[in-house]
Amino acid sequence: MTARGRRYQQGMRVPAIARWTGEAPLPMRVTRRWLAGLGGEGLGYEGELPTDRHRGLLWERVAEAEGEGRVQIGLVHGPRQRRAMNHRLCQVCFARAAPAGEPLLFLVAGTRPITTGDRLTSPPIHAECAEDAVRDCPDLADVYSAALVQRASSWGVAGLAYQPATLKPRPSRHRTGLTLLPYYAPAADLRWILAVREAVTVHGCTPVRLEDLASEPQTAGGRLSPDPPPRLRGGWRVPAPPHRHRCRRPRPAGC
């Protein structure tokens, strides 16, 4: 995987995992079909292709046309998000998020710190790219949490859980409208999920401030140099609370 060239729209940097207007979900009719790998009847597409599944689960089919039309800030392109998660790529520039053996930087909106065991659907990010994200993304503009993570493990998917009887999505209590489902869930549940995002669990989390990372030694692509640990204002770095950041740019709908 190689880094994308920088793209901007109305002065805002465009993340690689963002969906463009030329990448709308393709109109697919769901149906019931026998899923030998999951041991029973489950969700499928009429005219299903092998590329519609990953690890046996059905995924939302979307066009691959990055750069066509206008970017839709707030909408995630599922296949690119999955590649970023599986290959540990930066969600903004799509280059490797960190060299092998080095910690990954994760960034999420909200006041809750990132802690061991958390399930995340937001891919890792370079420190430099994270600065652009908090400047341009409305969800991150007011408050965000960042952490260096020693290990991110494949966990499951976020998607639409369908009712077998009606072939309609079940309601979700999550603010995204998606249901989180681990790969180790019962096959009876996995058969009826339409995945739209990959999810990982994170381990060995150290909360950080992005402004502190900006002053640390870095390698190419904004990746952190692991040695030595930074000395900040007379002391070693300590866990940071969620950071509040005021965005000075006009805020588009969603991020």
- In a 13 Å sphere around the CA of 167, the CA atoms on its Cβ side amount to 11
The length of the chain in residues reads 255
CA distance 242 to 112: 7
Please indicate, yes or no, if residue 106 is contained in any of the structural domains: yes
Nearest to 255 by CA among 105, 157, 135: 135
Q: What is the mean pLDDT of residues 139-156?
A: 91
4-13, 68-77, 99-108: range with lowest mean pLDDT: 4-13
**pTM of the entire structure?**
0.81
CA distance 206 to 233: 18
pLDDT digits (tens, 9 = 90+) for 5-23: 678 777 778 899 999 999 9
Please indicate, yes or no, if residue 224 is contained in any of the structural domains: no
Does 101 score more than 50 pLDDT? yes
Domain region containing 177:
8-219
Highest mean pLDDT among 49-63, 167-181, 208-222: 49-63
Helices vs strands, H then E, count in the chain:
5, 16
As for how many domains the chain has, the answer is 1
Q: How far is CA 44 from CA 34, 35, 47, 59, 142, in A?
A: 9, 9, 9, 9, 41
pLDDT digits (tens, 9 = 90+) for 215-251: 565 543 444 433 333 333 332 333 444 554 433 333 3
Please indicate, yes or no, if residue 229 is contained in any of the structural domains: no
Is the preceding peptide bond at 250 cis, omega within 30 degrees of 0?
no
Please indicate, yes or no, if residue 3 is contained in any of the structural domains: no
Token pair 């999810």: residue: 199
Residue 36 CB contacts under 8 Å (≥ 6 apart), including other chains: none
Please indicate, yes or no, if residue 238 is contained in any of the structural domains: no
Say if residues 222 and 127 touch (Cβ distance below 8 Å): yes
Please indicate, yes or no, if residue 251 is contained in any of the structural domains: no
Q: What is the pLDDT of residue 1?
A: 55
CA distance 56 to 51: 10
Does 168 score more than 80 pLDDT? yes
Going by DSSP bridges, is the β-strand pair 243-244/143-161 parallel, antiparallel, or unpaired?
A: antiparallel
Please indicate, yes or no, if residue 236 is contained in any of the structural domains: no
